[in-house]
Amino acid sequence: MHGWPCRRLSPYRWGGGARRPRVRPPVTAPLPQDADPSQTYCPEAGAAPGKPKADFRNYTEGTLLDRVYNTYLLMHTHQTVDFVRRKHAEYGACSHRRLSIMEALDLLDDLVDESDPDVDFPNSYHAYQTAEGIRKAHPDKDWFHLVGLLHDLGKILALSGEPQWAVVGDTFPVGCKVQKSVVFSDSTFHDNPDTFNPLYNTEYGMYQPHCGLENVLMSWGHDEYMYQVMRFNNFTLPLEAFYMIRFHSFYPWHTCGAYMHLCSPEDRRMLPWQVRPILLPVPRGQVLPRAAVLVMGAGPHTEPGL
């Protein structure tokens, strides 16, 4: 079995990259475009003991619902075209700080995602769970294991002073009409300045038909940030990995089939990879594997910029 491939990454700063040959995607089908996201479950969530799959991603009831709703209300109020462009300008040079991957993962011990109705434990645990789950299911794809470990690493933005509504949660394109499948779309966008811009409230908005998601401005958060980090530092991962990092929280697209009118043929080919990796349930009391075990004897890690 291969060790964790992070030891093969060149020095980088946190914000594209050489890519491996394309691999065959898994087969999956998105839900209908008008599907209610409050009735869908988190695809990566394996059935934890005592919790059926259908209980994941429940946005209608639960002990964490108020916290989750308030996070999305703030997100859908402030995530605008202008805001996203400012964040790209602020973080695009990846000049804020330098950390190794493992140091960044340790920082996630201090973060609980306020947009997630299923998780009330530090995000570093989720990173290891996901990576181990993928390694168990796909032992031959070491790059895929690394994606599981990295997929939420951009959430360290919340530990640098960014509010959680600008870091966590499901993502969506800005600059065009909000689709029904965006979570809480019917009750959280009323104070968003972009809702008063006639252009941004049309089907295509500021985009052209089938322009490709690479040309679409996504709401700012940990996915977009980590994707920019990977591109800036020339991560040597396949194209599938870049798509998975950037769009794994784009549930309206990969789970409900929305925004297909903006997708290119390449986006459609990548879509089967966007169903998020299987979460490895960890029984109560079980100690999670630590970095030294997961890396399997990797050498010193270089320090990327953030």
Domain that holds residue 158: 5-21+39-295
Q: Which residues does 140 contact at the CB level (< 8 Å), separation at least 6?
A: none
CA atoms within 13 A on the CB side of 49: 3
Over range 100-113, report the average pLDDT: 81
pLDDT above 70 for 296: no
Residue 210: inside a domain: yes
126 is in an annotated binding site: yes
169 is in an annotated binding site: yes
Percent of the chain residues past pLDDT 90, beyond the cut: 48
- Cα–Cα distance measured from residue 105 to residue 223, given in angstroms and rounded to the nearest whole number: 15
Residue 33: inside a domain: no
115 is in an annotated binding site: yes
264 is in an annotated binding site: no
155 is in an annotated binding site: yes
Stronger pLDDT, 156 or 297, i.e. the higher one: 156
- 170-212 confidence digits (pLDDT tens): 999 999 999 999 999 999 999 999 999 999 999 999 999 999 9
Residue 28: inside a domain: no
- Cα–Cα distance measured from residue 171 to residue 274, given in angstroms and rounded to the nearest whole number: 13
As to burial, measured by CB atoms within 10 angstroms (0-12 exposed, 13-18 middle, 19+ buried), residue 99 is: buried
- 135-181 confidence digits (pLDDT tens): 888 899 999 999 999 998 998 898 888 999 999 999 999 999 999 99
- 254-293 confidence digits (pLDDT tens): 999 999 999 999 999 999 887 655 444 444 444 455 544 5
Residue 303: inside a domain: no
The pLDDT of residue 116:
57
Residue 31: inside a domain: no
132 is in an annotated binding site: no
140 is in an annotated binding site: no
95 is in an annotated binding site: no
Strand, coil or helix: what is 223?
A: helix
- Cα–Cα distance measured from residue 181 to residue 34, given in angstroms and rounded to the nearest whole number: 6
Q: Which residues does 235 contact at the CB level (< 8 Å), separation at least 6?
A: 9, 12, 16, 17, 241, 242
The structure's pTM equals: 0.74
34 is in an annotated binding site: no
The pLDDT of residue 7:
35
CA distance readout (Å), 225 to 50, 75, 220: 35, 16, 7
113 is in an annotated binding site: yes
Q: Which residues does 133 contact at the CB level (< 8 Å), separation at least 6?
A: 44, 46, 148, 277, 278, 279, 280
Tokens matching residue 123: 């995000």
Residue 191: inside a domain: yes
Number of domains in the chain: 1
Over range 287-304, report the average pLDDT: 46
- Cα–Cα distance measured from residue 145 to residue 178, given in angstroms and rounded to the nearest whole number: 33
248 is in an annotated binding site: yes
Residue 306: inside a domain: no
Residue 49: inside a domain: yes
Q: Please, what is the average pLDDT of the chain?
A: 76
- Cα–Cα distance measured from residue 165 to residue 12, given in angstroms and rounded to the nearest whole number: 27
- Cα–Cα distance measured from residue 26 to residue 275, given in angstroms and rounded to the nearest whole number: 9
